[in-house]
Chains A and B, each alone.
Chain A
């Protein structure tokens, strides 16, 4: 054998981009994830525009519904989707193997965040296209704060998803992230604004990442305003869940 042994790492940015692309394609090829990421949010969008659930909230049904559906998309991909796939990667030793390659642990996490953002972009495009077809008329001034908030929401939910995936068995991650997706999706202030929730939930959801993201996106797209309080709540969740994930995440 006449090989010259030894290699050097590819540049950091290339490693992260490669991992992001690989993870995004893996998520998009997974049928269950695709249902959670695109099909269920679209069903919810259509459901909310044909029923009177959101009537009387200061906009057309579709205008009130779309911001919450986009928030739901962020939760699907970042929390449930990334949580489950990371949980199983951990079980099968994929995290350990990849952390021995030049990618390393930080590159792996960066790649996962990138994959979440890439899938989120596709979700915004698909949901946006369907919403426009249903007559959605967002406030132009709302786009910039909305996109910033979606990224921040994805960060908070990714941190929470990784925290769950890194601390319990993958079957438990599957159960917890799916159950929370349903609970928060229905009662977390994400698609149904706080005003439409039963008494005790109404006050609580302002402090949940789901309620904060849903509320802030509605403020952005309906009124073109930036909700500082909700943004602060999302930042706090990102910081606390991120720190907890760094502290307690088990790689094996």
Chain B
């Protein structure tokens, strides 16, 4: 649920035009057309969308890195286009490309950035927390993708911000680093930080986000908690159930009419690959396996999956997110 406190970030009807572009005969291109969102303290708010959907542009307008063409943006009660150092000292930004100088070494770099603040996060504590001490003598250009991401997160956190922007934070992270980073993000959220996460990875949003805005072609297309989005477009009878998808492979062209309840959608997605989506019950599974037994069908493979945000995105936009 959205809290009644004033949000740390509020975007209303954001418009961003870029150009003029030679490819459009010198016309402007509208990359964001009316995005609205709000992010609260102590929550992870995710902006989810395909690459090129306008997520990064939206967020950069909030960070003051790009000037908006229209609409209103309020970050911690101030307009990022006109605010000064006092606002920037309360906001941490982790950029998609890191933004770290290749010749720098982690500790001097973090200490340098920490010097820009009155009350920074102690660098020694931060590097221990993010496992940076294991590569503290290596220059940025020699770090692995995951090490760079962890350093970029440390650089965003060293000012001890109230609001944290994360752009694709798990890009290039190995599973262990990902776990480390996700745990830290959850802790910071619990400590009251307002975290705004931009990602095209459904899994990140599903694991971290308290509230999700789905953006497509520069517009809001859906919003809600992860649970609300997963229940979207389902009949109210099924809303209490967890929707699942049963994937299995068998011989092509099978007709399942009458085997499963009408509310369960069964499709042959490729020849011999089937997906049954709906509020599946144990009885449905029993009916299906009994039908296989009666017809002498042994599936080549089968798996049961919870409905994911990926499915929701597909429903809404009619296309894959990637």
Contacts and interface: CB of A to CB of B under 8 A. Distances in A.
Given A30-B103, A89-B101, A104 B115 contact: no
A100 B89 CA distance: 9
12 contacts: A6-B90, A8-B117, A14-B115, A15-B116, A88-B102, A97-B95, A97-B98, A100-B93, A102-B88, A102-B89, A102-B117, A107-B85
A41 to B, nearest CB: 23
A14 B117 CA distance: 10
What is the predominant secondary structure among interface residues of chain B facing chain A? loop
A5 interface: yes
Contacts of B120: 7
A103 B64 CA distance: 13
Given A1-B191, A100-B63, A102-B85, A6 B117 contact: no
Given A98-B99, A102-B117, A3 B191 contact: yes
Interface residues of B, number: 40
A96 interface: yes
Nearest to B129: A1
Nearest to A5: B162
Contacts of A99: 65
A26 interface: yes
A251 interface: yes
A237 to B, nearest CB: 29
A18 B116 CA distance: 8
A40 B118 CA distance: 42
Contacts of A97: 93, 95, 98-100, 155
Looking at chain A, what size class is its interface with the partner chain?
Answer: 20 to 34
B182 interface: no
Contacts of A107: 85
Interface of A: 1-3, 5-10, 12, 14-15, 18, 22, 26, 29-30, 88-89, 92-94, 96-104, 107, 251-252
Interface in B175-232: 187-188, 190-193
Contact of B192 (A5, A12, A26): A5
A136 B90 CA distance: 54
A15 B155 CA distance: 16
A96 B65 CA distance: 7
Contact of A5 (B100, B113, B161): B161
A107 B93 CA distance: 17
Contact of B99 (A3, A5, A9, A96): A96
A93 B97 contact: yes
Contacts of A8: 86, 89, 117-119
B160 interface: yes
B181 to A, nearest CB: 15
A93 B98 contact: yes
A12 B93 CA distance: 20
Interface string B73-106: 0000000000011101111010101111111100
Contacts of A104: 84-85, 88
Interface in B59-73: 63-65
B121 interface: yes
Interface of B: 63-65, 84-86, 88-91, 93, 95, 97-104, 112-113, 115-121, 155, 159-162, 187-188, 190-193
A5 B115 contact: no
A88 B90 CA distance: 28
B116 to A, nearest CB: 5
Contacts of B95: 93, 96-97, 100
Contacts of B119: 6-8
A12 B118 CA distance: 11
B124 to A, nearest CB: 15
Among the interface residues A2, A6, A89, A252, which one has the most CB atoms of the partner chain B within 10 A?
A6
B190 A1 contact: yes
A89 B140 CA distance: 13
Nearest to A2: B191
Contacts of A30: 103
A10 B99 contact: no
Contacts of A26: 101, 103-104
Contact of B112 (A3, A18, A29, A92): A18
Nearest to B92: A100
A29 B118 CA distance: 28
Nearest to B93: A100
B103 A9 contact: no
B117 A9 contact: yes
A10 B190 contact: no
Report which residue of A1, A7, A15, A99 has the largest number of chain B beta carbons within 10 angstroms of its beta carbon: A7
B101 A94 contact: yes
A30 B101 CA distance: 13
Contact of B188 (A1, A29, A93): A1
Nearest to A12: B85
Contacts of B103: 26, 29-30
Nearest to A26: B103
B118 to A, nearest CB: 4
A10 B116 contact: yes
Given A93-B99, A94-B100, 12 more contacts: A5-B191, A6-B90, A7-B159, A8-B117, A9-B85, A18-B115, A26-B103, A96-B65, A97-B98, A97-B99, A100-B91, A101-B88
